[in-house]
A and B are shown apart, each in its own frame.
Chain A
Amino acid sequence: MNVLTENFHTYAEGFLGTVQLTVYSSVLALVLGFLMASFRVAPVSSLRVFGTAWVTVLRNTPLTLLFFAVLLGLPRFGLVLPFKVFAVIALGCYTSAFICEALRSGINTVPRGQGEAARSLGMTFGQTLNLVILPQAFRSVIPPIGSTLIALAKNSAIAGAFSVTELLGTYKTLSELGYNVVWTFVWIAVGYLVITLAISALFHLMEREWGVAR
């Protein structure tokens, strides 16, 4: 018990690090995922190919490998950024592939006729997608996107291995100070629970507000 109270500052720092990684990566993943999903349903074939390649590469690469590629690879091309930013890029791009697929499955639940009606009225591809298809798809993608973001929060632990401050990494400091490993991890787990349950609650609220009525 006193692991937490005596090292509250260390825990808080780690917790905040994980929250930041989660929030920033989520935003990046949602933006990129939205963009890639629109690419994958676009009438232009080169965009579709790009979207498909993006998803295939990122979804099938182990996240740790992706971290290595971003943190060690990008500096070789002269792109040197703080490790935290690199971690956000790796996590955000990785998760965007899953967000893209969740969105696309939502787009596929909207009857084909909705898009045809919009196009027959002279709406462009972007208008059709944003005004007609996505508002209806949105309702059915709330649960899978929630799951994906929870996975993102937990995946952020990998950043700790690349000396980014985050929750799991605090165990190193604490075990060096001689604290009981079990209790250290219990409080780390509680920290993750706080974050993931908060995401759950948020998406539960969103589903109640906008979800598909039954």
Chain B
Amino acid sequence: MAVDPLIELRNVNKHYGQLHVLRDIDLIVGRGEVVVVIGPSGSGKSTLCRTINRLETVESGTIVLDGQPLPQEGKALARLRAEVGMVFQSFNLFAHKTVLQNVSLAQIKVRRRKRDEADQRSRELLDRVGLSAHAGKYPAQLSGGQQQRVAIARALAMEPKALLFDEPTSALDPEMINEVLEVMRQLARDGMTMIVVTHEMGFARSAANRVVFMADGRIVEDRAPEEFFTNPRSERAKDFLSKILKH
């Protein structure tokens, strides 16, 4: 696997005060791969996801995106972030902008597209996530599931090389989870490179190429989903799976 690496983390370490949140993380994600990161809360999986576009800094180790090491602050970092979309647990749509403006804003300001061109592309993307009827509304007028689909459209509008999902369905009502997962499955089928931190085991089974299991800041297992779910190797993973799958 990983013939053509797009995201590479080597020997990455990070502390929050005394807490060692990331311990010697090595992870390579190939182009077009869908990697699902699971693990108990506090295991460092969200932090891992956020280091990839440097919303969290790391203390040691290297992170390489499409052959380029992640720059420090500044314009170079901004340029690189534009290539990696991110979808957050709490959606984080711009509260003072309409749905259409949310999707168009960065296209205009970062990609320097003309407004008409950006809006047209935004409408196509909103159509793709099933929300073209809501283009003129403000985020607060939408349900959680709808907001998250707008957030995915906003990330896609930048034509990113990869998408990071940080627990995208954790803040959603159960009946809205599927509409978001369906959009994500479609993206996976279309060949988008994705790193997904989630508790949705069904999604991991059906859409992932690999499952990465984290505990206490380490990557404990990194395997194909069927193997992992039917025959976990480590005690930690067995324990975790027994707790979440038995109900």
Partner-B contacts on A (CB < 8 A): 43-44, 111, 113-114, 116-124, 127, 131-132, 135-136
Task: Tell me the bound Cα distance from A135 to B95 in angstroms.
Answer: 10
Q: Which of A44, A111, A124 is in CB contact (< 8 Å) with B75?
A: A124
Q: Is the CB of B154 within 8 A of A121?
A: yes
Q: What DSSP secondary structure best describes chain A's contact surface?
A: helix
Please tell me if B82 contacts chain A, counting CB pairs below 8 Å.
yes
Best-surrounded residue of B80, B91, B95, B154 (most CB of chain A within 10 A): B95
Q: Knowing A117-B88, A131-B109 touch, does A123 contact B93 (C-beta < 8 A)?
A: no
Instruction: Report yes or no: B55 in contact with A123, Cβ–Cβ below 8 A.
Output: no
Does B81 lie within 8 Å of A119, measured CB to CB? yes
In chain B, what residue has the closest Cβ to A119? B81
- The CA-CA distance from A117 to B147 in the complex, in Å, is 13
A124 touches B93 (CB 8 A): no
Minimum CB–CB distance from A136 to chain B (whole Å) comes to: 5
Q: How far is the CB of A63 from chain B (nearest CB, A)?
A: 36
Task: Say yes or no: A124 contacts B96, CB within 8 Å.
Answer: no
- By the criterion CB–CB under 8 Å, are A120 and B86 in contact? yes
CB distance from A209 to the nearest CB of B (A): 14
- Chain B residues positioned under 8 Å from A121 (CB to CB): 81-82, 85, 105-106, 110, 154-155, 158
Size range of the chain B interface in the assembly: 20 to 34
Identity of the chain A residue whose Cβ is nearest the Cβ of B75 in the assembled complex: A124
B109 touches A127 (CB 8 A): yes
Within the assembled complex, what's the spacing in Å between the Cα atoms of A98 and B121?
A: 43
Question: How many A-B residue contacts, CB cutoff 8 Å?
Answer: 65
Shortest distance between the CB of A125 and any CB in chain B (Å): 8
What would 12 A/B residue contacts be, using CB atoms closer than 8 Å? A111-B90, A114-B92, A114-B94, A116-B92, A118-B106, A120-B53, A120-B81, A121-B110, A121-B154, A123-B110, A124-B75, A136-B96
Across-interface contacts of A123 in B (CB, < 8 A): 78, 106, 109-110
Distance A140 CA – B90 CA, assembled complex (angstroms): 22
Give Cα distance in the complex from A182 to B81, angstroms. 67
Q: With the chains together, A116 CA to B93 CA distance in Å? A: 10
Residues of chain B contacted by A127 (CB below 8 angstroms): 109-110
Interchain CB contact under 8 A, A116 and B88: yes
Which B residues between 147 and 199 are near A, CB-CB below 8 angstroms? 151, 154-155, 158
Say yes or no for B59: interface residue by CB 8 A criterion. Answer: no
